[in-house]
Structure 1
Amino acid sequence: MAFVIYGAGAIGGVLGARLFTAGFDVRLIARGEHLSAVRDHGLRLESPEGTTTLPVTVASSPAEAGIGTEDVVVLAMKSQDTADALAALRAVAGPGTPVVCAQNGVVNERLALRLFENVYGVCVMFPASHLRPGVVQSRSAPVPGILDLGRYPGGVDDTAREVAAAFTKAGFVSEPRADIMRWKHRKLIMNLGNAVGALCGPGDDDAPRVSELVRAEGEAVLAATGVDVVSEEEDEARRAGILRFPPFEGRAPGGGSSVQSLLRGTGSIEADYLNGEIVLLGRLHGIPTPANELVCALAVVAAREQRQPGCVPASELLEKLSAPDPRCAP
């Protein structure tokens, strides 16, 4: 089994590095300055366990990477980039190519299944960062992350078991799960706070109140629309004691993937596929979602204008949400 890691940022870069050091055939797909840096100098992996530079193969596209019959393609880009990535992949890969969605949100698997027969979802509990070209950081040690996976829309097959075994060999905790989307919807609820963290930045005492509002809306919408989600208790039991965060020199600032998007000035953010998923379900079923709608809209503007984390105080968000119509608040 060989792996093509499509999107070699924080998650894809660390995952590819760990699989490479475990002896697997790995090819990365990256872009821009990150592609050039890895191609010229190798991929630098920093973690609490030390720093290493790996001569992993990197390409600019699926066509350049080449997709063979024994390859598993792991999607690790942000959800806003998935559709274009799948179109490029489809041009060179057969419909039976296994596509593993190691991504936040719950839309990527459905997009992939339109084009490929064998699609797998991964519930990503994997603290990692990517702020400099050619460099990725793994924050947890000795276990870098939890990567449970299963076939989409449900079930477990030999490929799911083999991929889980490969992830385990690379140091991750990984189990094949027939109900993987139940777990991914719980992770979606957790990720609704990503945009809040990006907008409010670290140290804003009111930010947890905003996060509570967006997550409560998410819970209510998923319950009202009949989406099956694992309980918080079950999720906490799964993660208990696995992820640990020893300090190490040069560790990047804390914060999730949305914070990193603003720090890197990428111009885009994943909010439309996290908070926006709740907004979409709410609109489809006539359920108001003002907190997620407001946070999503402001996060997209902040990314587009290349603003830094902390650009919108949580008190401002709470004030807007207390207005009769938060969308019209000044």
Structure 2
Amino acid sequence: MKITVVGAGAIGGFLACKLFAAGHDISVIARGATLHVIREQGLRLHTGNDLVIAPLRATSEPKELGIQDVVIFAVKAPALPAAVDAAKALIGQQTLVIPALNGLPWWYFLKSNSALSGTRLKAVDPDGMIERSVPTDAIIGCVVFPSCRVESPGVVRHMSGSKIVFGEPGGGSSSRISEVADVFLRAGFDAHAHENIREEIWLKLLGNACFNPVSLLVSCATDEMIDDPNLNTLFVEMMSELLELGNRLGISPKIDPLQRIAITRKLGKVKTSMLQDVEGHKHVEIEAILGALISVADLAGAPMARTRTVYALARMRAKTLGLLPE
């Protein structure tokens, strides 16, 4: 397949290298030092004891690549509007668009048949530009669970996990979801087609909405936070609030807070993406991960006292560090 990955960071680089090694025609949209290194040395992925070197096509100009079979967005939320606007040249009538993003995606309620159906998440897509630029019918819902980090420009290390879940934004099954999942399965991912992708997104969000902002506040990896009794209690309480909000919306992942926390604890010492951004002096995804959730809670009439407190503290911390996008 002809696939372009927009963003060659931790997750984008991981996906691009694995798909390239599986024989697909892969291009990446990158810029700066990352673009230069990929052009000179290829994109490099360290996974276990293996090194994958992918001498793929890299450019900062999407229009050079033409229409693609699949476009994967793997950028941080603050960069998404500009990335989507530039990538319009890649998207044709038959192109599938896979947003591999943290937090609630802009399309989350656009095709749902449940509470808040049709709601645009202004914290993610304030003026509707993303919604206008990407045909909703082209979207493949996606949840990426692996942990990766960028060691240097153009060099990615896969830390743990290979699970990726795909689904129709409106729910149900389809041949295109099965075909996409099979492409990723054959590329070595633990890929699954799911009939309720919105539930899977909420399942991942249980962790992201807790571990990411708290790591921003305390500068600790997940194992240290989870092993602290006070923070562990906080995570249980926040996840309980998120599960209750999900129930109001008809979203009920079959898991309790202790089970969800245990999943992350088994991964060992993991630096959250938000902590990595703080250490790299990059804009953090506080709005996509927590701001969007708070706006949904407002619409649903959910109090979520602990989650709102963590959001307020983490947002101010990001602001004082100069890492809050304008």
Under a length normalisation based on structure 2, what TM-score does the superposition of the two structures give?
0.79
Contact 1:102 1:122 in 2 (8 A): yes
Contact 1:124 1:148 in 2 (8 A): yes
Give, in whole Å, the separation in 1 of the partners of 2:35 and 2:84: 19
Give, in whole Å, the separation in 2 of the partners of 1:229 and 1:262: 32
> Which runs of structure 2 are paired with 1:95-174 in the superposition (5 Å)?
95-110=93-108, 114=132, 115-116=134-135, 117-140=137-160, 144-174=161-191
Alpha-carbon distance change, 171 to 92 in structure 1, aligned in 2, over 3 angstroms:
closer
Give, in whole Å, the separation in 1 of the partners of 2:266 and 2:155: 21
Match in the other structure for 1:262: 278
Match in the other structure for 1:219: 243
Q: 2:308 aligns with which of 293, 298, 308?
A: 293
| Residue ranges of structure 2 left out of the alignment (5+ in a row) | 109-124
SS at match of 2:140: strand
After the TM superposition, which of the residue ranges 168-177 and 53-62 deviates more from structure 2? 53-62
Q: Deviation per CA, 1:89-135, whole angstroms, max 9, x where unpaired?
A: 22452354210122222223356664312211112111111242111
Name the count of aligned residue pairs: 293
Give, in whole Å, the separation in 2 of the partners of 1:113 and 1:123: 19
> Which runs of structure 2 are paired with 1:152-301 in the superposition (5 Å)?
152-193=169-210, 194-202=212-220, 203=224, 205=228, 206-223=230-247, 225-232=248-255, 254-266=270-282, 268-301=283-316
| Residue ranges of structure 1 left out of the alignment (5+ in a row) | 247-252, 309-330
Q: Deviation per CA, 1:250-272, whole angstroms, max 9, x where unpaired?
A: xxx73121111112111x11121
Give, in whole Å, the separation in 1 of the partners of 2:254 and 2:78: 28
In angstroms, what is the RMSD of aligned CA positions?
Answer: 3.0
Amino acid at match of 1:262: V
Amino acid at match of 1:165: D
Once the 2 structures are TM-superposed, how far is the Cα of residue 287 of structure 1 from its aligned partner?
2.5
Once the 2 structures are TM-superposed, how far is the Cα of residue 278 of structure 1 from its aligned partner?
2.2
Give, in whole Å, the separation in 2 of the partners of 1:34 and 1:221: 40
Is residue 2:92 matched to residue 1:94? yes
Match in the other structure for 2:119: none
Give, in whole Å, the separation in 1 of the partners of 2:48 and 2:266: 10
Give, in whole Å, the separation in 2 of the partners of 1:74 and 1:168: 16
Under a length normalisation based on structure 1, what TM-score does the superposition of the two structures give?
0.79
The alignment-based identity, stated in percent, is 29
Contact 1:131 1:263 in 2 (8 A): no
Once the 2 structures are TM-superposed, how far is the Cα of residue 244 of structure 1 from its aligned partner?
8.4
